[in-house]
């Protein structure tokens, strides 16, 4: 009897799609069909650059692909500057009953007691400590460190080298940029953005953009 492989679609066709594809190729139980791309011209990928994967259409094709491929799974591979697009696609997944699939690099260090939500991408050299909860559809870039008893919501993007101390609470749709640090027991509200290199020592309200050391709210989005 042949091994069963889950059909997988990657949402996005830029650099993150190539990264996610490489991680999924390390698994023996998936078959990547290609990618869907609605971000031509607004993603980080130059429109003259050849996409790293077969582009099967835009995200409107997801419903037809779900009909064609029983048990279709999908994963988001879209960068932190398109959080609104990511949130919209998560709603599409849920409406169509498409199962999210995680892409976890074997070089990540993840405590056995950590809980990782479906659809989350965890790249090489990420460190996740005990009793940590990571929600659905998050992306953790290389060198990100999540300390114990921290809770991260849905659709959160933790960029390269960001550090979250213990008992931190991160709500949905937050972006934590490169090298940012969040001190212990800090709560970050929904849709906030912590800019690169900021050090956050106090609770952050929803929708705030935080910069500096110590971090301060510079505007709302």
The arithmetic mean of pLDDT across residues 63-70, rounded, is: 93
Segment (H or E) for 199? strand 199-200
For residue 39, what pLDDT is reported? 57
pLDDT tens digits for range 17-57? 999 999 999 999 999 999 998 754 444 445 455 556 888 98
214: preceding bond cis by omega (within 30 degrees): yes
Cα separation, 178 vs 158, in Å, equals 8
pLDDT, tens digit, 9 for 90 and up, residues 154-168: 999 999 999 999 999
pTM of the model: 0.91
- pLDDT value at residue 42: 43
Residue 143's alpha-carbon distances to 160, 175, 190, 204, in angstroms, are 6, 15, 23, 23
CA distance 141 to 20: 11
């Amino acid at each position: 009897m042949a091994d069963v492989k889950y059909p997988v679609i990657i949402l996005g066709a830029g650099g993150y799609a190539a990264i996610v594809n490489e991680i999924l190729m390390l698994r023996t139980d998936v078959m990547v069909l290609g990618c869907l791309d609605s971000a031509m011209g607004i993603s980080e990928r130059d429109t003259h650059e050849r996409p790293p994967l077969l582009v099967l259409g835009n995200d409107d094709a997801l419903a037809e692909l779900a009909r064609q491929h029983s048990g279709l799974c999908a994963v988001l591979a879209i960068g932190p500057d398109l959080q609104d697009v990511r949130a919209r696609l998560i709603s599409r997944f849920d409406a169509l009953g498409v199962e999210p699939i995680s892409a976890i690099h074997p070089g990540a260090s993840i405590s056995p007691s950590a809980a990782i939500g479906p659809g989350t991408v965890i790249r090489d050299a990420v460190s996740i400590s005990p009793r940590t909860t990571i929600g659905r559809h998050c992306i953790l870039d290389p060198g990100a460190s999540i300390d114990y008893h921290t809770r991260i919501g849905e659709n959160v993007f933790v960029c390269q080298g960001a550090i979250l101390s213990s008992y931190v609470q991160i709500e949905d749709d937050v972006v934590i940029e490169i090298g940012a640090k969040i001190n212990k027991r800090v709560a970050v509200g929904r849709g906030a953005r912590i800019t690169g290199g900021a050090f956050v020592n106090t609770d952050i309200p929803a929708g705030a953009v935080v910069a500096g050391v110590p971090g301060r709210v510079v505007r709302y989005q």
